[in-house]
Amino acid sequence: MATRKFILFELNEVPFSVIDYYIRKYPTSFLAKTLPKCSQIETVTEDEGELSPWITWPTFHRGVTNVKHKIKDFGENLDGVDKTYPTLWKILSDNQLQPGVFASMHTFPMPENYTDYSFFIPDPFASDSKLHPAKLEPFQKFNLAMSRKSGRNVDSGIDLKSASQLALNLPSMGIKVKTLVDVAGQIVSERLDTWKKNRRRVFQPVLAFDIFSKLIRTKKPTFATFFSNHVASTMHRYWAATFPNDYKEYNLSDDWKNKFSGEIDFAFSKFESFFENLVKFADQNPEYKIVVASSMGQEATKAEQLSTELYCKNLGKFTSFLGLKKGEWEQKIAMHPQYNLTISPEKIDSFSDALKEVFINVKPLIFRQKEGGFFSINLGHRNLEEDQISFRGVKVGLPELGLVNEPIEDESDGTAYHIPEGSMIIYDPQDTSVKNSRIGGVKTTSFVPSILENFKIPVPEYMDEGRIRELLK
C-alpha cells in the first residue's frame, strides 16, 4: 500500500465531551456533518504525576512517556533527550521526508538542519523570532510580542512596532482579508465590551492558521503539525460558565456565568473553520489524512471565584533578594505563574537553599531543580489574605521580592483541569463512509510508531508496540 501524507492539528487538551457538546448544540455545523465520516479515537496518556502540556506533548511526539523522556518544563536543555528519544519530525527529516512544524511544543530553538524541513516555526514561547522560511519573521515577532501580553489578564495594548512590520508583509504571508476583517471586529468589540479582550487569545491562532494554510498548499509536506491552545485556555477559565451542572458546589454568580457562557463555543467555532479548511485541502489532495489530536483532556474541577493570584512582576528583585547578582542567572520562557531560570554553577546550591526558606501562606515554595542549573518556580497562589511571605522565619512584604497579588479581571479560577483522556479525529478523503463506533483506550505513545510504519521507517525498539490502524489504512 502506498504511503499516505498527514496534517496533524494539535488541538490542545480538548476531550470528546466538548466536541460532543458542540455538535449537539450545532447539529447543522460543518463539524457535525463531517464527524461521522471520521475515525474517532479516545486516547490516553500514561504519563506519571501531574499532567501538563509541556509533558504530555513530548510523550505524543516522541513515542515514550515522561518516565523516559523526563521533560517537565519549558527552557530545559533537550540536547540529551533529542538524541535518545528524538521527535517524530526529527526522525522524518533525518530520512529526507522534509516535514513541516508550526508552533508545536518544545520546538525552540530551531534545529541546525532547518533547511531539511518544508517549514519550521518554533513555539510561541521561543526566545527569539528565528524561523524557516525567514520571510515569515515579521509574523513571529508579532506573535511572540502578543504572547507576552496574553497572560492571566490580557493586555489590551498592541505592540505597534511588530504590528507595523507584520502589516507590510500580510499579502505575501497568506493572511486573508476575511481574517483581517475578523480581527478588526474583535478590536471594535473589546472597545465596546472591555471583557471581550480575553478573546485575543483566540485570534493569534486565527492569524497563524492562515499562514499555515498557505504553507501546506505551496510546500505540500509529507507530514506537518499545527499547534493551538486557544480552546484549552478558554476551557480552563470558563468551563464552569458553559457546563455549570458539572459541579456539586457552584460558587460563581449568575452574572459571571451569563457573561462567559458562550466563550468555549466562540473558541471552538474558530477551530471548526480551521478543520473545514483542512478537510477541503485533503479532498483536493487525497493522498493526505487530517489528524486532529490532543495529548490529554480536561474536566471540571471547582467553581470558585478568583480575586487575586500571586505573580512575580520583577524577577530581578526576586533573585537579588535570594542572593543572586546580575549575570548569575538567566530567565527562561514559561507561562505565568511558572518562572524558569538557569543559575551560574557556583550559585546553584545557595539559590536552592534560599528557595527552601521561602514560605507562602505557611507552606514551602514549590520549585523543581534539574541539571545544568535549571530551576522552575511555581507561584500562582490564589486569594492570599496577606501581602507578605516568610523568609528564614521573618515576614517580608511582597514588593521586596518583586511579587504582587494580581487582581484577576474575569474572576475565573481554573474551573477545569487536565485528565489523561484525550481525543483523536482522523479524516480520510479516500474513505468517507459513516463510522459507527468510537474507539477507546488508545495510548498516545502509539501515534509516532504508526506514522513511522506508514513511511516504512524502522520503528525504534524503545517505542510502543501498539499501532493506530486507522492511520495505516
Region 264-281: mean pLDDT is 98
pLDDT at 270 over 60: yes
Give 92-98's long-range contacts (Cβ < 8 A, gap of 24+).
Answer: 92/222, 92/223, 92/455, 92/457, 93/117, 95/455, 95/457, 97/222, 97/223, 97/455, 98/221, 98/222
Q: Are the CB atoms for 143 and 124 separated by under 8 Å?
A: yes
Cell of 464: 510502543
For the stretch 62-85, pLDDT in tens is 999 999 999 998 888 899 999 999
Burial 38-50 (b: 16+ CB within 10 A, else e): bbbbbbbbebeee
- Predicted pLDDT of residue 124: 86
What is residue 166's predicted lDDT score, i.e. its pLDDT?
64
Task: Please choose, from the candidates 360, 322, 359, the residue with its C-alpha nearest in 3D space to the C-alpha of residue 341.
Answer: 322
Residue 156's pLDDT is what? Answer: 46
What are 28's three cell numbers? 447543522
Provide the H-helix boundaries in 296-375: 315-321, 348-355
How many whole angstroms separate alpha carbon 119 and alpha carbon 333? 23
434-463 core/surface letters (b: 16 or more CB in 10 A; e: else):
ebeeeeeebbbbbbbbbbbbbbebebbeeb
Residue-wise pLDDT for 373-416, tens only, equals 999 999 989 888 889 999 999 999 999 999 999 888 777 778 99
Name which of 182, 228, 199 is nearest 410 in CA terms.
Answer: 199
pLDDT in tens, 294-319: 999 999 999 998 888 999 999 999 99
> Which tens digits make up the pLDDT trace of 17-67?
999 999 999 999 999 999 999 999 999 999 999 999 999 999 999 999 999
Which residue in the block uniquely carries the three cell numbers 508545536?
104
Q: Indicate if the pLDDT at residue 147 is higher than 80.
A: no
Q: Which of 91, 90, 60, 454 is nearest to 227 (CA)?
A: 60
Q: Give yes or no for a contact between 22 and 34, defined as CB atoms under 8 angstroms apart.
A: no
Peptide bond into 337 cis (omega under 30): yes
- Position 114 scores a pLDDT of 97
Mean pLDDT (whole number) for 255-261: 94
Question: Which positions ≥6 away from 61 have C-beta within 8 Å?
Answer: 87, 88, 89, 104, 105, 106, 448
Residues with Cβ within 8 Å of residue 349, at least 6 apart in sequence: none
3-class secondary-structure state, position 128? coil
The domain ranges of the chain are 5-303+415-472, 308-407
Q: What does the pLDDT read at residue 168?
A: 63
Dist. CA 177–CA 170, nearest whole Å: 9
Residues 93-111: tens digit of each pLDDT: 999 999 999 999 999 999 9
Does 462 score more than 90 pLDDT? yes
Q: Which residues contact 297 (CB under 8 A, 6 or more apart)?
A: 13, 14, 15, 16, 17, 418, 419, 420, 421, 422, 423
Q: What percent of the chain has pLDDT over 70?
A: 94
Structure confidence at residue 373 (pLDDT) = 94
- Predicted local confidence at residue 152, as pLDDT: 46
Q: CA–CA separation, 131 vs 144, rounded Å?
A: 12
Mean pLDDT over 446-473 rounds to 96
Which of the four pLDDT bands, split at 50, 70 and 90, describes residue 126?
A: confident
Task: Quote the cell numbers at residue 138.
Answer: 515579521
Distances (CA, A) of 302 to 1, 244, 400: 49, 10, 33
Q: In this model, does residue 420 exceed pLDDT 50?
A: yes
What is the CATH architecture assignment of 5-303+415-472? Answer: 3-Layer(aba) Sandwich (3.40)
Residue 218 in grid coordinates: 505551496
Q: Model confidence at 195, in pLDDT bands (50, 70, 90)? A: confident
Instruction: Report residue 154's pLDDT band, with 50, 70 and 90 as the boundaries.
Output: very low
Residue in this structure with the C-alpha cell 487525497, named with its chain if needed? 286
d(CA 471, CA 30): 23
What angle do helix axes 137-148 and 160-173 make, rounded to 10 degrees? 140
Q: Tell me the pLDDT band of 153, cut-offs 50, 70 and 90.
A: very low
How would DSSP label each residue in 437-450? -EEEEEEGGGHHHH
The model's confidence at residue 159, banded by pLDDT at 50, 70 and 90, is: low
Please report the pLDDT score of residue 305 as a whole number: 85
pLDDT digits (tens, 9 = 90+) for 196-251: 777 777 888 999 999 999 999 999 999 999 999 999 999 999 999 999 999 999 99
Mean confidence (pLDDT) of the chain: 92
Give the pLDDT band of residue 191 (cuts 50, 70, 90): confident
The Cα 394–Cα 403 span in angstroms is 16
Measured CA distances, 139 to 98, 107, 168, 379, 447 (Å) = 22, 17, 10, 31, 30
Residue type, 225: T
The Cα–Cα gap between 205 and 233 comes to 12
- Could you report the per-residue pLDDT of 165-189, keeping only the tens digit for each? 666 667 678 888 888 888 887 778 7
Q: Within 13 Å, how many C-alpha atoms sit on residue 352's CB side?
A: 15
pTM for the whole structure: 0.89
Q: Identify the sign of the CA torsion 55, 61, 65, 70.
A: negative
